[in-house]
Amino acid sequence: MKKTLFGLSFIFLLFSCSSDDSTNNDGENNENPIPTPPTYAMTASINGVAFNANNPFGTNLYTEHNMWDYYPTEEYVRFIGRQDGLWGNPEINIWLKRDLMTPGSYTLYPDDGTNPGTHAIDLIDNSNDELENTVTGTVTILEVNTNTKIVKGTFEFTTTDDYNFIANPVINYTVTEGTFYYQYED
């Protein structure tokens, strides 16, 4: 009987002791914690109006396909921020060149469809008949986590309705205080 009790006690102790000291009380791994994503993958102020968005499906996952062939998927990763879901409006698209997805500030130039440059950004507002051609701006990549595949950063840019905007742009949208937090791979 003593052997049985001793054996059961030993088994109880064996299974009740945790050998993994790298987790906290929430079950998160303390050595490589996965950060809790913000409520919105992309935020900004568009002409002073708050813009809070996720991708069209409500997450912070990248978009597998690029809508323009001068942003090939093998060279660029695309993040969509669409306010109010699948059929929502407005939308901001950010294209980051994969081989330049490193922390730093990058200047955005007018996108004429022939030379996308390092990174690009685009505003689409379907609530009016105006175009939103990017004039200039900045994308700042703050962090690229190769373990969690998360990239986060900030942006600001201006747009014009005129295709011939380079010489004398008339600004129709000013986007400031932009933030993004996206998973760039599965």
Reported as a single tens digit per residue, the pLDDT across 36-69 is 889 999 999 999 999 999 999 999 999 887 766 7
Give the single-character DSSP code of 63: B
In terms of Cα–Cα distance, which of 92, 145, 144 is closest to 120? 92
Reported as a single tens digit per residue, the pLDDT across 109-152 is 886 666 667 899 999 999 998 889 898 899 999 999 999 999 99
Reported as a single tens digit per residue, the pLDDT across 69-94 is 778 888 999 999 999 999 999 999 99
pTM of the predicted structure, to 2 decimals = 0.78
Residues 6+ apart with CB under 8 A from 27: none
- What's the rounded Cα separation, in Å, for the pair 138 and 26? 38
Q: In terms of pLDDT, which residue wins out, 1 or 73?
A: 73
- What's the rounded Cα separation, in Å, for the pair 186 and 168? 42
Give the single-character DSSP code of 30: S
As a whole number of angstroms, the longest Cα–Cα distance in the chain is 95
pLDDT of residue 36: 81
Q: Indicate the pLDDT class of residue 3, thresholds 50, 70 and 90.
A: very low
- What's the rounded Cα separation, in Å, for the pair 53 and 176? 15
Tokens of 141: 């990549």
- Four-point Cα dihedral 39, 45, 49, 53, nearest 10: -30
